[in-house]
Amino acid sequence: MNTPLHRTTLLAAALAVLASGPDPAAAQIAAPGPAHPHALAAPGLTRVTATAATTDRIVARIEAARDFCGRIAQHAYVIDCLAAHLEGVARDMPGGDYRAAGQILDRTARDLRRLAEANADPALPRGRVRVGNATSPRALTPVRPDALGRIGPQASAILQEAETQLLRSAEGSERRMVHYRRIAAAVGSTKFLMRSARLGQEQGQKVAIMRGIADLPEKSKTLSTIACDQIPTPGDRSTAT
């Protein structure tokens, strides 16, 4: 029955609903607030918590770099070899709990690379070094024979400083310290490569260079691959020639 009184009653009911405000439950769902902190996070930003699996991968890469560079018989390339590998480890560091470690490794790699470039040997080509089936991440700068004994301790000091910084950066966090100790130990294990006595043993060692590389212009040499003699390790069937 649609009478004036009925219409007035319906209108009054509608006004009462509007006056009571929006449904609190509906408002809670529609408007993210403090209970939804991730709704305000910037795209692409995540927090990475250190885990045993991630640290395993980082340590394995540093140890693989140590083993690769340690098998280059031409020691002129060893310092920049380690720098090149540490650059890659630092670049791929996941951030979060590992951010400080990545920054330290990046700084260490840059310091080693500058050391090699400041003492470059113009008599040897700059190029990628191949040991067995593996190749260096980038073209490497060889160091002059007369500088190897002098800068070996400098390179070792750079690595020692990296160890110290890694341990200091994790102070105050027992959770992170466990992982940073392992990374620091892996970096420390590379110092034997820099010992001046080992770096100075150039007598009787050589680089087997690709055919014709000596006659190429300088620009071409930087793009060439240098096949270096391998230093045999226990159980390794390869021999130095």
Q: What is the pLDDT of residues 175-214, one digit of tens each?
A: 899 999 999 999 999 999 987 434 454 443 444 333 334 4
Longest Cα pair distance anywhere in the chain, in angstroms?
115
Report the alpha-carbon distance of residue 100 to residue 96 in Å, rounded: 8
Does the pLDDT value for residue 83 go beyond 90? yes
Report the alpha-carbon distance of residue 186 to residue 6 in Å, rounded: 86
pTM above 0.85, yes or no: no
Mean pLDDT of the 164-178 span: 92
149 compared with 23, residue with greater pLDDT: 149
Question: Average model confidence (pLDDT) for the chain?
Answer: 75
